[in-house]
Amino acid sequence: MSRSANFELSRALNHLLKIVLALALASTLVLPSAYAGGTKKSVVKKQAHSVRHPVHVPRRVVARITPHARHKATKVVVGSRHKSISRVAYVPAQPSFGELAGLHSIQDPLDLKSGAALVMDQDTHEILFNKNDQAVLPIASLSKLMTGLLISESGLPMNEMITITQDDVDTEKHSSSRLRVGTVLSRGELLHLALMASENRAAHALGRTYPGGLSAFVSLMNAKAKMIGMKETHYVEPTGLSSENQSSARDLATLVNVAYKDPTLRELTTSHNFDVDVGNRTLQFNNTNRLVKNPSWDIGLQKTGYITEAGHCLLMQVKIAGRKLIMVFLDSAGSLSRFADAERVRRWIESDPTTTISVSSPTRQANG
């Protein structure tokens, strides 16, 4: 083939490539799987006009509702070896139950980013601050504090070895874990990892190996909640991965008050890190609460939590200005904002320890 023929063929192929790329960009793009909050989500096709319509937010949220989709910009690049063409597509992101219930539209004097919050004097039970404190919301890994309380009170041998099995693998959110199937650890080690590092497989294994099995353990979780006065709380599993594990800030303050009396829970939840030997490897786990390593904080007990439906959650027992306080923050907007909310509360307590703040909630329950 002549040089001129080669040149004409190359021009034709380039022209054809441009047409194919233009057609691809003109059509609706389907993106591959996306990850939000450590959880795998399927991405749904969205027509361009759907982005422009306002999303209706109900005042009450049914626990099993399929949430409306928000949209955030994600860049998708399509191109060849020599040049690329990019466009912005819209990926649906699921709002939390608190957002759907309108809790974040309620303003408070401290400008907290959490949809619900409670600060209580542990000795007098005086409520110093409350915001939507009776709204019933998913509580994510705050559920593990009840799991830990029951295991600690059970009298079961902490040196008994337990094997992580396929049953402990998360099929709810498909979250990852550093504890592989077949890992063998003691009950005490699993308890430490569940409370400090919020390890889901560790928490599930603790419930699964409880006498009577997982169903008996979950029944005991609910029975214990009722016994200590948690009237708006319900558990369906021991990890918090299910959005059906629900409670209120007021109920969780009650749980913190009870759990704080257990020295094992105080020690394990506030430890900075923990190393475990798994076969020929040593894994180091760190505390999920960044404040435990901050010397300006005196934390006696804590637990963090996050799933998309619950937002970012935090509960703590702390000492501030000579007072023992219980703090609960639910449905915070970001992973750091719950800790920033705790800082805002601390500054307020230190500057004006006699004032109380109460913000009325739009609804008593956010789960219908």
Catalytic member of 114, 141, 143, 242: 141
- 198 catalytic, yes or no? yes
Helix axes 143-154, 263-270, angle to 10 degrees: 130
For residues 219 and 73, the answer to whether their CB atoms sit within 8 Å is: no
Catalytic member of 144, 173, 224, 303: 144
Which of the 8 DSSP states describes residue 209? T
In 49-132 the beta strands, taken as DSSP E runs, fall at: 70-79, 84-93, 114-121, 127-131
Catalytic member of 96, 114, 143, 198: 198
- 144 catalytic, yes or no? yes
Please give the Cα distance from 330 to 315 (Å, whole number): 8
Dihedral sign for Cα atoms in the order 210, 213, 217, 223: negative
Instruction: Write the Ramachandran bin of 258: left for phi over 0, alpha for psi from -120 to 50, otherwise beta.
Output: alpha
Please give the Cα distance from 261 to 286 (Å, whole number): 24
Residues forming the active site: 141, 144, 198
